[in-house]
Amino acid sequence: MGKTKQITVSPKCLAGRSFALLGFASLDDTYFIDGSWVAVSDWRSWRHQQTVGAYRHAGLEDTGLVVGEQVAFQTNDGQGRANGVVTAITMVRSHDLTSAERAALDDHADEIEHFHNDAAWYVTFDILR
């Protein structure tokens, strides 16, 4: 197992009990479902609203996130630190998120406006207190 992943977030994220991040998905990514790693490689294979056990950037080990993985957070202003756990990873269309999903995002409006494609990893976290 690799080092604990460090994720920088806004102070808003650490104020509550849970939050979400939206991550770009690319054709080189892989995801874990039904006991196998599957390559995204074709947008037609993208399963909108499908939960997965993990994803990797470009299929590389020690990248991406795994459900149940503990991570360390620090705020972008350097004032806050906390530990958390990945609670779910969902394949989504970034522009079709519900209002509740958007509200859970860290700086949600900014994240969605800068997406170049519609496919994204919607990752939820619980803060460990």
CA 25 from chain centre, in angstroms, equals 10
Domain positions in the chain are 5-128
- pLDDT for res 2: 63
- pLDDT for res 115: 58
Residue 38's beta-bridge partner residues?
31
- pLDDT for res 111: 55
Structure tokens that stand for 82 in this block: 């906390």
- pLDDT for res 41: 81
The CATH number of 5-128, from 3.30.70, 1.10.10, 3.20.20, 3.10.400, is 3.10.400
- pLDDT for res 80: 86
Residues ≥6 apart with Cβ < 8 Å to 19 = 9, 12, 13, 104, 105, 106, 124, 125, 127
Per-residue pLDDT of the chain (129 residues; tens, 9 = 90+): 568 899 998 888 888 899 988 888 888 888 999 999 988 886 667 777 889 999 998 878 888 899 999 999 999 888 889 999 999 999 988 778 888 887 787 664 555 565 556 788 889 999 997
CA distances 91 to 21, 43, 58, Å, are 12, 11, 16
